Chains A and B, each alone.
Chain A
Amino acid sequence: SQKIEQNSEALNIQEGKTATLTCNYTNYSPAYLQWYRQDPGRGPVFLLLIRENEKEKRKERLKVTFDTTLKQSLFHITASQPADSATYLCAPDLYSGNTPLVFGKGTRLSVIA
């Protein structure tokens, strides 16, 4: 979606490093933002939801930040593993309220052993 920019189509990192994926949105003020993981040939799987007043949320090795001033969310995977290789999609609540999510095009992460 042109309303949402995810930093790059592909990101390669070494195993054990921290992967940082970026999601930028313009001209909107979402109250929520979700992150999903998609493996080849499978449907997206929900990972995390962050609210506009939460700033940061963690789940195991995952961390999401939400900067409403910069209109940006960062998704971090610490101590990355080859099993983390997948496409990651962000989905901000662009229109607020009772409307569906809009998904970014995704960033394909490859963790190299």
Chain B
Amino acid sequence: NAGVTQTPKFQVLKTGQSMTLQCAQDMNHNSMYWYRQDPGMGLRLIYYSASEGTTDKGEVPNGYNVSRLNKREFSLRLESAAPSQTSVYFCASSASGTPSNQPQHFGDGTRLSIL
């Protein structure tokens, strides 16, 4: 049982390049999330998808776009990468119902460096 799988695990980009981070879950969860984690800042929500076909902005959405491709997959795209987007990106999922009373299951992250 893989849970939440993120690809790639590491990536180095140059400023201005674009990239899509992939996330897939095999738990039949309705809700999916993208976070970034920076030293001293904790986990911050970028975008989330409460159910297939819907997406909403989180705390720090600027510079990112998302696509809920189907129930399993939720991708995060950086259209024009900036050094400020250097971070560790985590994808998570949770079961249906009120998201806040459901545990979130996280992937192991994508470590992204932008030069």
Residues of chain A at the chain B interface (Cβ within 8 Å) = 1, 30-32, 34, 36, 41-46, 49, 51, 89, 93, 95-106
Q: Are A42 and B43 in contact (CB under 8 A)?
A: no
Asked if B53 lies at the interface with its beta carbon under 8 angstroms from chain A, I say no
Q: Check if B1 is an interface residue, CB within 8 A of chain A.
A: no
From known contacts A1-B42, A103-B43, infer whether A45 and B106 are also in contact, taking CB-CB under 8 Å: yes
B101: interface (CB < 8 Å): yes
Q: How far is the CA of A51 from the CA of B35 in the complex (A)?
A: 24
CA distance A101 to B109 in the complex (A): 18
Q: List 29 A-B contacts (CB under 8 A).
A: A1-B42, A32-B100, A32-B101, A36-B104, A42-B108, A43-B4, A43-B90, A43-B107, A43-B109, A44-B90, A44-B104, A46-B103, A46-B104, A49-B101, A97-B100, A98-B98, A98-B99, A98-B100, A99-B100, A100-B33, A100-B45, A100-B48, A100-B99, A101-B100, A102-B45, A102-B59, A103-B35, A103-B43, A103-B44
Distance between Cα atoms of A97 and B33 in the complex (Å): 17
Main SS of the interface on chain A? loop
User: In whole angstroms, how far apart are the Cα atoms of A17 and B33 in the complex?
Assistant: 36
Which residues of B are found within 8 Å of A32, using beta-carbon distances?
Answer: 100-101
Smallest CB gap from B109: residue in A: A43
* Residues from chain B with Cβ under 8 Å of A30 in the complex: 100
Known: A96-B100, A98-B99, A100-B58. A105 touches B40 (CB 8 A): yes
Give the CA-CA distance A43 to B109 in the complex, in Å: 6
Alpha-carbon distance A30/B42, docked complex (angstroms)? 19
Question: A1, A34, A100 — which one has the most chain B CB atoms within 10 A of its CB?
Answer: A100
Across the two chains, which residue of chain B brings its CB closest to A106?
B42
Q: CA separation between A105 and B37, bound complex, in Å?
A: 9
Q: Which residue of B lies closest to A96 (CB)?
A: B100
CB distance from B52 to the nearest CB of A (A): 15
Q: How far is the CA of A90 from the CA of B101 in the complex (A)?
A: 13
